[in-house]
Amino acid sequence: MGKTGSVEWVKIKGRKGQVRQVTKAETTYKKPGPMQKYTASGSRVKKIRRSIKATQIRT
């Protein structure tokens, strides 16, 4: 855990249109869900690129 206030939060737009806050590190990439966790060859997917629409700056 970091110190109080050390995490920077950024607003992004979710799939259903809701605006939610994520950490700044997860702004451009997100963790895959259960169905997107593995590739066809069986290797693990660690990051999925977030859509450009979701990452536009929200105020």
| Whole-prediction pTM | 0.55
Condensed to tens digits (0 to 9), the pLDDT of residues 8-52 reads 888 888 878 888 888 888 888 888 888 888 989 999 988 888 877
Three-state secondary structure call for residue 10: strand
What's the pLDDT score for residue 33? 84
* Domain residue ranges in the chain: 9-55
E-strand spans in 1-57? 9-13, 19-23, 29-30, 48-49
